[in-house]
Every structure is written in C-alpha cells, then in structure tokens.
A = this chain, B = another copy of it.
C-alpha cells in the first residue's frame, strides 16, 4: 500500500475491517514497524480529530511524528506553475513537496476544496502533486473530494454497532450556515457502496453528489421517507456540487435538521456525524446527547482507521 485516497486502496474491505478490530485490541504491538520512520503531517486547513488521531496512530506504531501547519510558521505556497512569483507566496509546491519528502517516510496531507475552481478541486490538484512529487507514500487526511480515513472509521463503527447483518444506512444532508466541501459524503458513499449495507442517500434537490462516488446508490429526495426503518442516520452538510451552483449554499432552513421527531421515524437508529458538528443546525442537542448518538466512539475509531493505513504502508516500505 503506497497511497490512501479512496476505498479501493484498502483492497478487500472485510479484511480491512477485521484488521482494524485486531489493531484496536493490540495497538501497541506493532511499534517495531515504525522504528526510525517519520510521519510528516501537513495541514493546509484546521483539524482536531484528524490531527490528534493520526499523530496518535503514528506514535502507537513507534513512529517519529512531525506536524506542519503550512499557514502558521511555514512559508505561503504557490500552487500554479509558470507564475512569476513576485507576490506574497514565497515558495512553490513543486519545491516544497519534494523537500518534505526528503525528511519523511510517509506524508499525510490535509487540503480542502477551495470552491474557486471545480476542475482544480475535483482533479485533486494538491493531493496529486504530493503523490507525484514527494516520492513517498501519501495519505489523505481529507483532500478536496474525499476523506477516506473518516469513512473507514465510519465503516468500522457501523460494523461494531450494527444489530442486523445488512443494516439500513441513511446519509442525510442537513443545514449549515457556510459552504462545506463534499469530501465527507463522497467518501462515505464510496465506502458504503462497497460495504454490506442497504445504503440510501437523502438530500434536497440541487445537492446531488458526483456520480464517481455515488455509483448509482439510491437517492431519495423525501428525507422522512428515507429515514423510515434506518439503522444508522449519518448526517452531514455539503454545498452544491452540480453546475452552475458548485460551492453554493442553496438553503439553510432547519426542516432538514435531525431532531427527535426525525429520529422517531427510524428503527431506533444510531446517530452518526464526522464532527465538528453545528448543534441545532445539523442536529438538535437532545439527539446528539441521546444514548443512540455514537459520534464519540466514531471519532475514537479515527485512531484505528489511521493506524491500519499507516501499518499497511509501513509493512510495504
């Protein structure tokens, strides 16, 4: 394993989940793998869970870990080739990336969609430059179009909590004051489409996601109908993907907020969210604080998904 950017990098998904359960029980048993190995975590954007869980996973494996916040303490980076660099950007990614590669055995990168240019975002320009120029294995810690460490943790959590062989998992759009990338719903769909679940997506018209990730999954525009019989409700906001509205917030009203009333439609479903979550926009206080809310164990599994990915990359070095 040399990169981790989507579900296919994990190969057999059942085997990956099984490995996650082993790692979770024996997280300090693989420290020999990381000896004299350095994990460099590069952040172009804010992070709490990803920062802590990925660093913890690297440390669990005995790695040296270095955290680099590009916008704090490093140089501002130019990302386009051919530019006369006479402005505020001091360094070009085409130098910065191979330089980072010099000092790392594995590079983990966070770089969100910027919503300035759909083609730039959806061709994963930044992440792919890291893959192409660093000469080192690269892990997405949420890129422009995907957040696979989150989706893998989500799947592990669903496997832990499911009460039926093939649970109904509903990904529902929910309102939010600002435009958010589609990375989390994209990767969640990417994983659920390969998992043994009954997967339904619900969102208002205009919020359709990229077919590359949806791959024909059932989309139900009536949220109430979608929630009926759900075993897991996975709430998330995203901005519009389809042209000409790419990156726009089309609505913010709270009729799609996950409330007790919405949850009553389900099969006593578990509530999931990748966090950070806007309370009383995405979900009401009472739902996220209810016993059916599993957002914290879900976050805890971020350490496990990261550790499985790092472990596999270390094993292949």
Contacts and interface: CB of A to CB of B under 8 A. Distances in A.
Contacts of A78: 279
Contacts of A75: 46, 48, 276
A155 interface: no
A267 B94 CA distance: 26
A74 B50 CA distance: 10
Interface stretch (A13-21, A97-105, A198-206): A97-105
Contact of A52 (B72, B90, B91, B100): B100
A278 B100 contact: no
Interface residues of A, number: 61
29 contacts: A36-B60, A38-B56, A38-B59, A43-B73, A46-B73, A46-B74, A48-B68, A51-B74, A52-B68, A52-B99, A52-B103, A53-B103, A56-B64, A75-B276, A81-B285, A82-B280, A84-B280, A85-B281, A86-B252, A86-B281, A87-B177, A91-B276, A92-B277, A92-B279, A94-B279, A95-B295, A99-B275, A102-B303, A103-B303
Interface of A: 28, 36, 38, 40, 43, 46-49, 51-53, 55-56, 59-60, 64, 66, 68-69, 72-75, 78, 81-87, 90-92, 94-96, 98-100, 102-104, 177, 252, 275-281, 285, 288-289, 295-296, 299-300, 303
